[in-house]
Amino acid sequence: MSPPASIEMIADILRKGGLAALPTETVYGLGANALDPVAVARIFAAKERPFFDPLIVHLADLDWLPRVVKSFPPIAKTLAERFWPGPMTLVLPKSEVVPDLVTSGMPTVGIRIPDHELTRQVLRLANVPVAAPSANLFGRLSPTTAEHVREQLGDRIDALLDGGPCRVGVESSILRVEGDRVTLLRPGGIPVEEIEIAVGAPVHHELTTGDKPAAPGMLDSHYAPRTPLTVGNQIPPAAPWPRSGLLTFEAPHDSHGYAMVEVLSPKGDLVTAAAQFFQALHRLDAAGLDGIFAIAFPDRGLGRALNDRLKRAAFRKAETPN
Ligand code: AMP
Ligand code: MG
């Protein structure tokens, strides 16, 4: 049976960098091509979330897996065979193709094969991995019907796939797999007892991540540069350190004396800036600088999430002087 046209259209929208709300067995997700950082930045813009958190990458089946993860240990394979499709997310080392914005700069990526036939058809046709958080505005309830999504995000998305009400609003269990060690990061749809039976060993617990954002600096697994980072509103007239890095939103009039300058969006566009942000921070961090001076973003839209990230990076440094 050939799938209905709407599914093809939605797959096409995703492939071309658009936003599509998709039903899953947990809640409706707001999906974008996980390999396209600008598309992923648009997810955060649409949700008006004042911070970034790592997004789960959804796959139709195991075909894409070797391209998005660096390793897939035997225990992960056992778990995947037992619980996918289903409400289980595996956190594994990410491959180079996964943009840092998807993982908030972390070296790992959360992967899931959702148990929803229509959405899997879309994912299969789109033939790209799809990053998706819940399809709600910041601070509003997670949507379990297409109508909830329409109310909150109707005018901000390119497509909405109505798959009826979500079966159960239980979130996915999130498991980090490192070698033969399995750690539960968030309890969810699959009981720990069942996971332990499947892996034949006790599961470790580390409930530091969760759906609730922690206060700035609290999410230990989030990326912070090792180079000291200072945030200000204007470029200091003299570079503050012998080897200074500068992170700015728009092209500066004068960056004299800076060893390295990263301009996130010469055109002053926050979506582009968010898409570039983590990559630029990684480059600055790898350059052996004495310090990074970051100019605060405009306090609107994605600028708020970017400012939150800068504050955390600076906060982390203050707490752990080296
Ligand atoms: P959800 O709200 O169901 O879309 O799940 C998103 C949550 O998954 C994030 O807020 C994190 O707590 C968790 N998560 C996703 N990717 C990772 C990762 N690479 N490492 C740790 N936790 C992750
Ligand atoms: Mg959520």
User: Which whole-number Å values give the CA distances from 196 to 44, 84, 91, 172, in the listed order?
Assistant: 35, 16, 17, 16
Confidence of residue 4 (pLDDT cuts 50, 70, 90): low
**Of 166, 176, 185, best ligand 1 pocket probe by most atoms within 8 Å of the beta carbon:** 185
pLDDT recorded at residue 224: 81
User: Helices in the chain by DSSP H: which ranges?
Assistant: 5-15, 37-47, 65-68, 74-83, 100-103, 117-126, 146-153, 192-199, 270-285, 302-319
Determine the average pLDDT of the residues in 164-182: 90
Condensed to tens digits (0 to 9), the pLDDT of residues 118-133 reads 999 999 999 999 999 9
Per the rule left: phi > 0, alpha: psi between -120 and 50, beta: everything else, 319 is: alpha
pLDDT at 214: 39
Q: Nearest residue CA, atom 17 of ligand 1? A: 110
Report pLDDT for 170.
76
Question: Which of 174, 175, 182, 185 has most ligand 1 atoms within 8 Å of CB, for mutation?
Answer: 174
Which tops the pLDDT comparison, 166 or 213?
A: 166
- Is the minimum distance from the CB of 221 to ligand 1 under 6 angstroms? yes
Q: What is the pLDDT of residues 47-68, one digit of tens each?
A: 999 999 999 999 999 999 999 9
The whole model's pTM is what? 0.89
Predicted confidence at residue 142, as pLDDT, reads 87
* pLDDT 10s digits, 180-229: 999 999 998 899 999 999 999 999 998 754 444 433 333 444 678 999 99
Decide if 270 contacts 45 (C-beta within 8 A). yes
Q: In the prediction, which pLDDT does 315 show? A: 72
Distance (angstroms) between ligand 1 centre and the Cα of 210 equals 7
Q: Which domains does the chain have, with CATH numbers?
A: 7-205 (3.90.870.10), 229-314 (3.40.50.11030)
Residue 176 confidence (pLDDT) above 70:
yes
Predicted local confidence at residue 312, as pLDDT = 86
Which residue owns the Cα nearest ligand 1 atom 6?
A: 55
- Residue of 67, 62, 77, 75 whose CA lies nearest to 109: 67
* pLDDT grade for 285, boundaries at 50, 70 and 90: very high
pLDDT value at residue 167: 86
Ligand 1 atom 3, closest CA: 171
Please provide the average confidence, as pLDDT, over all residues in the chain: 91
Would the pLDDT of 161 be above 60? yes
Q: Please tell me if the CB atom of residue 108 comes closer than 6 angstroms to any atom of ligand 1.
A: yes
pLDDT score for 208: 59
Task: Assign 141 a pLDDT band (cuts: 50, 70, 90).
Answer: confident
